[in-house]
Every structure is written in C-alpha cells, then in structure tokens.
Chain A
Amino acid sequence: METAFILYAAKEIQQAILTNENTLESLDRAIGDGDHYINMKRGANAIIGIEAELAQLSPEAALNKIGLKLLSTIGGASGPLLASFFISMAKQLPNNNNDHAHLKFVHAFAAGVQAIMQRGKADLGEKTMLDVLIPVSNQWLLLAQQNHDVAFICSSLITTAEQGMLATKDLIASKGRAAGLGERAIGHIDPGAKSCQLMITAVCNLILKS
C-alpha cells in the first residue's frame, strides 16, 4: 500500500461523508444527538487539510498522523475510536514481514478493529460501528487466505458491509449513544455503522475503478 493510495482513499471517504449529509443526520437525530455528520465532516476535512504533509510520509507514518489528527479534531466518542483504529493499523502495518502485501493490509485492518473493540469495550451485536467492521474484517481475512482476486474481494466486502449496517436496524443498543433508549432504538440503523459502511464502500469502489 502506497501513501498515495491512502490519500485517494481519504478523498473518496470525504466525498462519501459529504454526499450523505441527510442520511447521517437523520439517523443520528433518531437515536443519538444529531452531531454525527458534523463530527465526521470535521474529521474528514481535517485529514484533507493536511494532505500535503501526509504525502511526504511512509504509509504507516501517514496512518498514524491521520489517527492523531482525528483524535485532536473530532472529540466525543467517535474521535478516540477512529483514532485508535488508524494508530493501531499504523503500528501493525510494518509487522508480519512474511505476508504478501495484501495480507499485511488485512492484518493491519484487523488490528485497527481490535483497537476499537478494546477502546469502546464493545463487541458484535451491540448496535455500533463494530457490526460493520467485525464482519468485514473476518470476511476479508477469509477471502484473502483463499487467494481470491482483489476485485472479487472488494465486491464481496461491499455486500458484507451493507448487511452488517442493515443488521443494526433490529438490534437493541447495549453500547454507544443509543444505549439508553432500550427498545426504542429498534427499527433504526446505527449512524456509526452507516458511516463505516459508507467509508468501506467508498474505498472498495476506488479499488474496483482502478
């Protein structure tokens, strides 16, 4: 993975967030406090704002810098969670030297997801972003180990992310903003799961296009 790819991905993610303002706002207004879109936009814009600086860095240094920037920009709960993801991903990336390039990236992604689980003390089925991230991480590892081609993996992960996001609709939240709502949260998609699905889909589509 090249730093240039990270920057393309960041731009795609920014676009995905900006074009889904209404969706993210209305989901968060229903079961959160309505600031999820504003926070995600602030984070995405801050990363694009340091694009030139990131371009000079190695991939792992760029991911670490992205984590630190999100940490000091977003605040609330999303800030530390997304920051933990990128910082842990950056730490894992230079390891596993025996892996081929693709598998290295899969393991780095999995380390990032692990970091979110630890920081948020949450797991699958609690109506959070992890309901998208954990299935995607598992599916990706499986497909990569089976040596499927990148195009197949990307299309498959787009489906996995969408299924995970839609599955949050029927869950009662035990973690995250909607945890106090009990059964009132049923019938609403978790906004954090939605934004993760949007980001994963944006990056997969970028790879499919190139």
Chain B
Amino acid sequence: MKKFINKVDDILVESLSGFSTAHADLVSLHLDPAYIERKNKASNKVVIISGGGSGHEPLHAGYIGYGMLDAACPGHVFTSPTPDQMLAAAEATHANQGVLFIVKNYAGDVMNFEMAAEMLAFENATVYTSDDCAVVNSTYTTGRRGVAGTVIVEKCVGSLAETGANLHACKALGDKVNQRISSMGAALTSCTVPAAGRPTFDISDTEIEMGVGIHGEPGRRREVMREADAIITDCVDAILADFQVKNLTLEKNNEALLLINGFGATPLMELYLIYNIAAKLFKQHGINISRSLVGNYTTALDMAGASVTLCLLDDEIKQHWDSPVHTAALRWGC
C-alpha cells in the first residue's frame, strides 16, 4: 500500500481537518462526535442532513452549503456513522422546520440513521437513495444500493428546502428524484482500505467487475476487459432496462441529466470519453440529455472505474437542479 498517510488511525481526522480548513468559508468541523455543519446556518427551514462511511469524497461533506446540505456525518472508511453523530448534527443545525435525513440504502447506514431518527426530539423524515440498478442484494445491502445518484437527490432536495418548503414536500421530492434515477458502474481495479492495507478484491489486468458497488463489493459479473464502447453500451442498456422495470416510459425528447462519475483513480480524460459514448447512445434512444455532470462526485477511495447515472427530468427536478448552489464540490449560480 502506497498512500499519503501518517498514522492509519489518524487519516480520517486529518482529512476532515484539512477539508474544513480549506473550506472554512462554507463549513465547520466538530469532533466527538464527528459532524461537519454549514456556516451561515439557516434560521427557518427544513434541515437536510446526510452521512455515511468515509472514502466516497466529496460525498457528503463536499455538498454542505447553500442550496444543498446543512450537515454531514462521516463514519470510518466504508463504515456507517453512529446515531450520536446524527443527533449532534441535528441539534446543532435544526431550524424549526424539522430534519430530513438522506441515507444511502446500506444495512448499517439504514439502522444507524433509523435509531437516530427514533431518538431525535423533533420532527424528522428520511429519504433512502437506491439508484444502483446492478444488483438487488449486495454485500452491504438488503435491496438496491445508493450510489452516485445520491448527489442529484441531495442537490434537488437542498434546493427545495431553501424555498421554505415543508418537511413533507422535501421528503416527497427526494423520493421522486430517487425513483427517476438509475446508475450502473464498472471497476477496472480494486480499492485499498487504509486499515486493511491491501486491495479489497483481486482482479487481473484483463478483467473488469461489471456493476461494482462504491465499496469495491461485487456486482453483476466478472468479465474480460473490452473496449470502452462495449462496456458503456452494457451500462446504458442496464439503465434503460431498469427504467422499463420501474415503469418509467421514455418518451421522445424526454429530458434527462447524465452524470458520469469517477470512482477515484480514473482520469477526467477517460470520464469525458465515457460521457461521449453514453450521451450518443441515450440520444439514439430518443433521450434528450439537457443537463450534464462529469467528474469524481461519489468515489470509492482509489478504485479505477466509473459509473453512468441517468436522471429523468421534469420541470420541477430541472428547476431544482439548475438553482444556485454553493458547496465545496458543486457551485453554480451564486
């Protein structure tokens, strides 16, 4: 293992300290229990809190700020945070309109957020993200996994919350957006959890893992490495099939957002190459890609690979995607 580390046990705190110092205009860090909260706190709105295992940066702390999250709770690498973190974050940020948790659908995250929700003294609700169409049950889940599409849910719900919408409306929008997203990823290499010190899985130079999760957990199948066109065609086909299963009919000129997400060790040059392929394929199916995002938005430490995410837009989702946002990892319009 070759990584920038002082002591394995100190990685998380040192990284969080760096993040909060670099973005001191946007966030502040609290430890014991660990949470990161937004500067310029809102005084009267639904508070949006997310969290999850570390190693997926910039998810979630990178999305704290105007138009997105109010706080994020980082767990150990690939391990869910604990309820005391969520309670502390909720108590620090709540602004009289209740708390909405956005939680990726993994067994540990679900249970820890569930217990926090039960212990929390004020009104709250939870949106579970489950955009990954690769597998139904995985190493970490019962049901579908929440992956890169989580960023789109956080952006839209965060935008709605800024308008003063109530908790019920924020939860409803989050569920709707999640339902209209589908993701599929492929890994070219494994990732190395620092505490483990060795790659999570073995994969040869001539193999890829189709439908990999964001912790390096197995996906649909191990297959032989092929040219990009073939791999991305499979991802796009899986997404289109998933929309059919979800009964979301794709009409002519359906507007959609296409997100190409890097897992941490694939260069932007390749991510744009993937975008080029996926956009053409979706267009052939009559889908109008009217919004795009390309980059490392939901990573898996140092894994090489990428995921394709398609979100079917409607006027409401489009409006909340386009609205101003000011966070460390996403910023436009202000």
Chain A residues with CB under 8 Å of chain B are 32-35, 38, 71-77, 79-81, 83-84, 119-121, 174-181
A180–B82 CB distance below 8 A: no
Q: How large is the interface on B (under 10, 10 to 19, 20 to 34, 35 or more residues)?
A: 20 to 34
Output the residue of A35, A71, A178, A180 with the most chain B CB within 10 A. Answer: A180
Contact A180 B76 (CB under 8 A): no
Interface-centre pick from A32, A72, A121 (highest chain B CB count, 10 A) = A72
Q: Is B115 an interface residue (CB 8 A)?
A: yes
B140 & A119 in contact (Cβ 8 Å cutoff): no
B108 touches A (CB below 8 Å): yes
**21 A-B pairs, CB-CB below 8 angstroms?**
A71-B84, A71-B115, A74-B82, A76-B79, A76-B108, A77-B111, A79-B111, A80-B83, A84-B115, A119-B111, A119-B115, A120-B111, A177-B139, A178-B139, A179-B137, A179-B138, A179-B141, A179-B142, A180-B138, A180-B217, A181-B218
Additional pairs, 6, CB under 8 Å, beyond known A72-B84, A79-B108, A179-B141:
A77-B107, A79-B82, A174-B137, A179-B142, A180-B139, A181-B218
Q: Are the CB atoms of A77 and B108 closer together than 8 Å?
A: yes
CA distance A75 to B77 in the complex (A): 11
Q: Mark B39-80, 1 if CB is under 8 A from A, else 0.
A: 000000000000000000000000000000000000110111
Residues of B within 8 A of A177 (CB): 107, 139-140
Asked whether, in the complex, the Cβ of B137 is within 8 Å of the Cβ of A180, the reply is yes
Q: When the two chains form their complex, are residues B111 and A80 in contact, meaning their CB atoms are under 8 A apart?
A: yes
On chain B, the residues within 8 Å of A174 by CB distance are 137
**Choice from B108, B137, B139, B196 contacting A75 with Cβ under 8 Å:** B108
Q: Is the C-beta of B81 less than 8 angstroms from some C-beta in chain A?
A: yes
Interface SS of A by simple majority: helix
* Interface status of B33 (Cβ within 8 A of chain A): yes
CA distance A174 to B141 in the complex (A): 10
Task: Give Cα A73–Cα B85 distance, bound, in whole angstroms.
Answer: 11
* B17 contacts the other chain (CB 8 A): no
CA distance A77 to B139 in the complex (A): 12
Q: Is B82 a contact partner of A73 (Cβ separation < 8 A)?
A: yes
* B142/A175 in contact, CB under 8 A: yes
On chain A, the residues within 8 Å of B215 by CB distance are 33
The distance from the CB of A48 to the nearest CB of chain B, in whole angstroms, is: 19
Q: Is the CB of B75 within 8 A of A75?
A: yes
A137 CA to B196 CA, complexed, in Å:
36
B150 to chain A, nearest CB (A): 19
B238 at the binding interface (Cβ < 8 Å)? no
- Cβ of B112 within 8 Å of any chain A Cβ, yes or no, is yes
Which one of B33, B82, B83, B135 has the greatest number of beta carbons of chain A within 10 Å? B82
Chain B, 271-284, contact with A by CB distance < 8 Å: what is the 0/1 string? 00000000000000
Q: A121 near B142 (CB under 8 angstroms)?
A: yes
Q: List CB contacts (< 8 Å) of B106-133 with chain A.
A: 107-108, 111-112, 114-115
> Bound complex: CA of A80 vs CA of B119, how far in Å?
13
B293 to chain A, nearest CB (A): 28
In chain B, what residue has the closest Cβ to A29? B196
- Tell me if B139 and A72 are in contact (CB < 8 A): no
CB distance from A175 to the nearest CB of B (A): 6
How near does chain A come to B38, taking the closest CB pair, in angstroms? 23
Q: Which residue of B lies closest to A87 (CB)?
A: B115
Partner of A71, one of B75, B82, B138, B195: B82
How far, in angstroms, from A33 to B191 measured CA to CA in the complex? 13
Q: Which residues of A lie under 8 Å from residue B114 when comparing CB positions?
A: 80, 119
> Of A34, A76, A84, A180, which one neighbours B141 at CB under 8 angstroms?
A180
Closest to B219 in A: A180
CB distance from B173 to the nearest CB of A (A): 26
